[in-house]
Structure 1
Amino acid sequence: MRSIRKLHQFFVDKPVDNGTIINNLYRVSHVIGSGSYGIIYYCKDIQTNEIRVLKQLRPSKHRTKSEVALFENEISIISRLQHPSMPQLYEYFSVNGSLFYSMNYIEGINMEELIFSTNKTFNEKESLAFIFNLLPLIDHIHKRNIYHGDIRISNILINKDKLYLIDFGLSKIEQNDSKFLEIRQGDYYDLGDILLYLLYTTYSSKNKKALPWTEELTLEQETVHLLKRLLQINEAYPTIESIAKDVEAALLANTKENQA
């Protein structure tokens, strides 16, 4: 059954041909990404000559109301973002039964690509600074009761040291304040996961046996404290402000260590 479904998706979910004009407005240049339920195109607005990004719900997903609802939820969330470092929604529409929405093109390099393609590394201070610069973006969406749900390096772009948060496909809007306090911890955990990932870019293993990060990495105690709370090994953080305070303390500790 699964192989039949995969075969069906292969034939049904073919991307739009390059050069195609969608909705009498967007000329498709090429596919820039695809996920389990969406195809993303790099396009040009033929009226303004500006670059746009189109996201299409895979045709195979139209058969289930839940998949369509997820796509519509993503559109609703992007319309609420209103931040220069996040996608900006222009319009959503249907063409020949296919659902699309358009957004601005954010120029930058994907953090995952930056690390793996250029062997970019981050020392402790640089890793902490990265998290500190990411915090205002997380704070922005949380103040709008939006839980991202998928904060990882592949969903962060960087351009001239400025960070951009993308891909809100798994995000949720939660109006129940008490429930939101609980689910936003998932975003905090992701921050800890990113920090740990960046710290490991400078790590060179000397042991054949893998050890816990607390034994493999040599870090300032303030950074260890921060990580343990983000990863909920110790008491979880209640707010972005409390995280920022400890990130600043860890940055200060690293500055003093470098000056010593």
Structure 2
Amino acid sequence: MLRAIRKFYQFFVDKPFEIGAILNDRYEILRVIGTGSYGIVYLCKELITNENRVVKQLRPSKCRNKKEVEMFEKEISLLRKLDHKKIPMLYEAFSSNGQLFYAMSFVEGDNLEELIFSKKITFSEKEALLVLADLLEFIDYLHKKDIYHQDLRIPNVLLKNRELYLIDLGLAKSPNRQKDLLDMKQQDYYDLGEILLYLLYTTYSSNNKKALPWTEELSLEKETVHLLKRLLEIEDPYSSTREISIDLETALKAMEKHINLE
């Protein structure tokens, strides 16, 4: 009953601003990019520079919850640490009529989910490994800043002019305890493994009515299999991005050798 009342309340309170509305006397809303349980995200035109920006709003129903507000403010503080050309940059945080927002750079591109399911793009084993190499660079950068993404999924990876961009750090965290650090690190590594597996399956067509394990369905170089098994914690999990990088380089060399022999 309480959940139904809460949903009813959110339905009326959490309505997005209309197209054309101006936020902070600076950002004109062009459209709503997405809505989640946590926030509302708008594509806006910055009136000063005439450039597109992304503005994220904490859902109004969350603004009375101290914990939710603290999480939003922590997200902003994490974004302030970043200065990477392929990760959106924070411009400012602001409030208006008790509502909380922040503005960041906009990257125009297709995410991997759209490319795979709508545009039917496929990735060879080598191409999938190269995508992993780019993602690993992002993760290494974040981890060195003591930031753990915790939401690495194909919708959060954009492709623009053949270059990858990492977006949406809404669930990113900094650990408070050593155990949290290890868990967060392993989660990011596991997510890398899931993305790699997803990409590898884009070239797979099943003739079997019965689903089989990926180790049987996919024909991969043994070095790629080893890399995947460690990322997915089937075998001894990785403890650092450096370890992953070494095995990734070995897998890419094996792929090159295989291609040259064909």
Matched-pair contact (CA < 8 Å) for 1:70–1:169: no
* RMSD, matched Cα: 1.2
Q: Spell out, residue by residue over 1:35-56, the C-alpha distance to the aligned partner (whole angstroms, 9 max, x if none).
A: 1111111111112212111100
Q: Which residue of 2 aligns with 1:96?
A: 97
Q: Which residue of 2 aligns with 1:24?
A: 25
CA distance in 2, matches of 1:144, 1:133: 17
Point out where structure 1 has 5 or more consecutive residues left out of the alignment. none
CA distance in 1, matches of 2:180, 2:28: 43
The structural deviation recorded for 1:175 is: 5.5
Q: Which residue of 1 aligns with 2:88?
A: 87
Q: Which residue of 1 aligns with 2:6?
A: 5
Q: Which residue of 1 aligns with 2:191?
A: 190
CA distance in 1, matches of 2:98, 2:179: 39
The structural deviation recorded for 1:136 is: 0.9
CA distance in 1, matches of 2:64, 2:72: 13
3-state SS of paired residue (1:233): coil
Map 1:82-231 to 2 at 5 A.
82-174=83-175, 176=177, 179-231=180-232
My pick for the range that moved more, 76-85 or 168-177, is 168-177
Q: Spell out, residue by residue over 1:86-136, the C-alpha distance to the aligned partner (whole angstroms, 9 max, x if none).
A: 121111111111110011111211111111110011111111111012111
Q: Spell out, residue by residue over 1:142-192, the C-alpha distance to the aligned partner (whole angstroms, 9 max, x if none).
A: 001111100111111111121111111111112655642342111000000
Identity of aligned residues (%): 58
Matched-pair contact (CA < 8 Å) for 1:145–1:175: no
The letter of the residue matching 2:88 is: P
Q: Which residue of 1 aligns with 2:63?
A: 62
CA distance in 2, matches of 1:65, 1:116: 39
The letter of the residue matching 2:84 is: H
The letter of the residue matching 1:135 is: L
Q: Judging changes above 3 Å, is the alpha-carbon distance between structure 1 residues 178 and 7 closer, same or farther for their aligned structure 2 residues?
A: closer
The structural deviation recorded for 1:4 is: 2.0
Q: Which residue of 2 aligns with 1:45?
A: 46
The letter of the residue matching 2:22 is: I
Q: Which residue of 2 aligns with 1:14?
A: 15
CA distance in 2, matches of 1:133, 1:227: 16
Point out where structure 2 has 5 or more consecutive residues left out of the alignment. none
The letter of the residue matching 2:174 is: I
Matched-pair contact (CA < 8 Å) for 1:124–1:219: yes
Give the aligned length. 260
TM value normalised by structure 2: 0.96
3-state SS of paired residue (2:32): strand
Q: Spell out, residue by residue over 1:52-108, the C-alpha distance to the aligned partner (whole angstroms, 9 max, x if none).
A: 111001111112111111111111111111111112111111111111001111121
Q: Which residue of 2 aligns with 1:247?
A: 248
3-state SS of paired residue (2:81): helix
